[in-house]
């Protein structure tokens, strides 16, 4: 009986080590948004794990969430991200619909921001994933500057 318990214990130990070895490391992404012009509403974040839907779609293969505006800067953390390439879009959501409102011509009517702070103008259009993406392989902080109009 004693031998059986040793075999069982050895099996359980090896299984727990196997899970640890096969577990993929994850990282935490901290997103800091600066230049917020309103003191009400919330900043809504969408982390995209690929170019699908970037930067406008509410359905992406990433994470999302909102943070209440408490000043000219807001920080939100997303944990459990697998190593890879990501991009972020943020909206200064003033009306609570959790999306970027645009006018008839497609020009944003609310503040917005994109990771790596690319130029967004009528000439450039919405930025491409490759222009806003960055690699995460360890805990990472990204700073985004809020825009309230298109760039000239």
Q: What is the pLDDT along the chain (152 residues), one digit of tens a residue?
A: 545 454 444 444 444 444 445 567 899 999 999 999 988 899 999 999 998 889 988 766 689 999 999 999 999 999 999 999 999 999 999 998 888 888 888 888 999 999 999 999 888 888 999 999 999 999 999 999 999 998 87
Is the omega angle on the peptide bond into residue 55 within 30 degrees of 0, that is, cis? Answer: yes
What is the spatial distance between Cα 17 and Cα 84, in angstroms, rounded to a whole number?
A: 25
Cβ neighbours of residue 118 under 8 Å, at least 6 residues apart?
124, 127, 131, 132
Cβ neighbours of residue 111 under 8 Å, at least 6 residues apart?
36, 37, 38, 91, 92, 146, 147, 148
Distances in Å between the alpha carbon of 15 and those of 8, 20, 26? 11, 9, 21
pLDDT of residue 4: 46
pLDDT of residue 6: 47
Count other C-beta atoms under 10 Å from residue 12's C-beta: 10
pLDDT of residue 106: 82
Three-state helix/strand/coil letters over 12-47 = HHHHHHHHHHHCCCCEEEEEEEECCCCCCCEEEEEE
Burial degree of 121 (CB within 10 A; 0-12, 13-18, 19+): exposed
pTM of the model: 0.81
What DSSP element (H or E) covers 73? strand 73-81
């Amino acid at each position: 009986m004693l031998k059986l318990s040793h075999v069982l214990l050895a099996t359980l130990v090896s299984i727990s080590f196997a899970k640890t070895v096969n577990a993929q490391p994850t990282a935490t992404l901290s997103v800091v948004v600066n230049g917020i012009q309103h003191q009400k509403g919330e900043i809504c974040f969408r982390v995209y794990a690929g170019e699908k839907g970037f930067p406008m779609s509410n359905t992406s293969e990433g994470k999302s969430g909102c943070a209440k505006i408490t000043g000219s800067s807001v920080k939100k953390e997303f944990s459990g991200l697998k190593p890879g390439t990501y991009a972020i879009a943020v909206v200064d959501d003033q009306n609570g619909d959790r999306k970027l409102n645009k006018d008839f011509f497609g020009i944003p009517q609310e503040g917005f921001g994109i990771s790596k702070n690319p130029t967004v103008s009528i000439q450039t259009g919405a930025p491409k994933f490759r222009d806003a993406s960055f690699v995460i392989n360890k805990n990472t902080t990204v700073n985004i500057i809020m825009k309230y109009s298109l760039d000239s």
